[in-house]
Amino acid sequence: MKFLVISTSMSSTSRSRVLAQSAYERLPEAHQSGWLDLQTEGLPLCDGGPAADDRVDRLRREISGSDGILITFGIYNYLAPAATKNALEWAGRAAFEGKVVAFAAVGGGPGSLPSVASLTTPMLLDFGAVVCPKFIYTTGASFADDVLVDPDVQGRLDEFVATWTTLTQRVRAGDHHA
């Protein structure tokens, strides 16, 4: 199995990137793992065209070659940010179909938790991915000096990564009761 973590924040001091790194560190060693940071990838904006672009090719290749994909983001105006959506527009349905996709988000406050649905709905209903039923939502209060310090979120992240990776293995093995 291959597990890919995609950090989609454009912020150089991103908290959701710290969350992504914390999840990446928890990936089971027995499997392959991949890391993609959209801040350094610098994807162009999706124009719906054919995308003759190495960065877009790499994004598609990484997602297509993975079984489970974790997408992390910060909440901007009660939605996933434009950069997150841009990556999904470029990647397209074919890269995600049949994969197990999980989400982890950081907001400024607790009230934006339902914003995660802005990605789960198209992923499930249009892209044909299996969406991990657990997700992480937390706020800046869980971090100090670029470190995830909140023991509650650390514990939830342990469970979240275990659920996502186990579900991925079962779904990709064709277990229809997963």
Ligand X SMILES: Cc1cc2nc3c(=O)[nH]c(=O)nc-3n(C[C@H](O)[C@H](O)[C@H](O)COP(=O)(O)O)c2cc1C
Q: Per-residue x/- mask for ligand X, residues 77 to 96, rule CB under 6 A?
A: xx------------------
Binding range to ligand X, per CB under 6 A, among 40-48, 107-115, 121-129, 130-138: 107-115
Structure tokens belonging to residue 63 = 């997602």
Which residues make beta-bridge pairs with 102? 70
Task: Looking at residues 122 to 161 of the shown chain, list those that interact with ligand X (rule: CB under 6 A).
Answer: 140
Binding range to ligand X, per CB under 6 A, among 27-35, 76-84, 122-130, 145-153: 76-84
Nearer to ligand X, 82 or 124 (CB): 82
Binding range to ligand X, per CB under 6 A, among 22-30, 54-62, 108-116, 168-176: 108-116
Residue 128 Cβ vs ligand X, minimum distance, rounded to whole Å: 27
Can you tell me which of 28, 98, 108, 133 binds ligand X, judged by CB under 6 A?
A: 108
Using CB under 6 A as the binding rule, whether residue 109 contacts ligand X is answered as yes
DSSP one-letter string for the chain: -EEEEEE----TT-HHHHHHHHHHHTS-TTSEEEEEEHHHH-PPPP-SS----HHHHHHHHHHHT-SEEEEEEE-BTTB--HHHHHHHHHH-HHHHTT-EEEEEEEESSGGGGGGGHHHHHHHHHTS-PEEPS--EEEEGGGEETTEE--HHHHHHHHHHHHHHHHHHHHHHTT-TT-
Task: Looking at residues 55 to 74 of the shown chain, list those that interact with ligand X (rule: CB under 6 A).
Answer: 74
Per CB under 6 A, residues contacting ligand X are 9, 11, 14-17, 74-78, 106-109, 112, 140
